[in-house]
Amino acid sequence: MPLPQAVSALVTDRLSAVDAALPGFVTTLWVTGSAASGDWRPGRSDVDFVAATSRVPELADLEVLAALHAAGGETHYDGLYVAEADLAAPPAAEEPAAHVVNGEFGTGRCGYCTPPAWLELRQDGIPVRGPAPATMVAAPEPAALRAWLLGNLRGYWSGEAAHVERVAAGRPAGAAIGGEPVVWMTLGAPRLHATLTTGEILSKTATGAYVAEHFPAYAELAGRCVAWRAGEDVPFTFADGLAAAALVRTVVSAAERPGSTSAQLSAAKAAVLSTVRTTFHRTQAVSNASRAAAGSAVPAAASRSLSGTLTAIVTPSTSR
Decide if pLDDT at 278 tops 70: no
For strand 98-101 and strand 236-237, is the pairing parallel, antiparallel, or unpaired? Answer: unpaired
Domains located in the chain, CATH noted:
5-135 (3.30.460.10), 142-318 (no CATH)
Q: Count Cβ atoms within 10 A of the Cβ of residue 294 and give its class: 0-12 exposed, 13-18 middle, 19 or more buried.
A: exposed
- State whether the Cα torsion 242-226-260-91 is positive or negative: negative
* Residue 128 · residue 226 · CB < 8 Å: no
* Secondary structure class of 295 (helix, strand, coil): coil
Decide if pLDDT at 307 tops 90: no
- State whether the Cα torsion 235-238-241-243 is positive or negative: negative
Q: What does R_g of the chain's alpha carbons equal in angstroms? A: 20
**Half-sphere CA count of 2, side-chain side, radius 13 A:** 9
Q: What is the pTM of this model?
A: 0.77
Of the ranges 3-17, 87-101, 262-276, the best mean pLDDT one: 3-17
Residue-wise DSSP of 165-180: HHHHTTS-TTSEE-HH
Decide if pLDDT at 271 tops 60: no
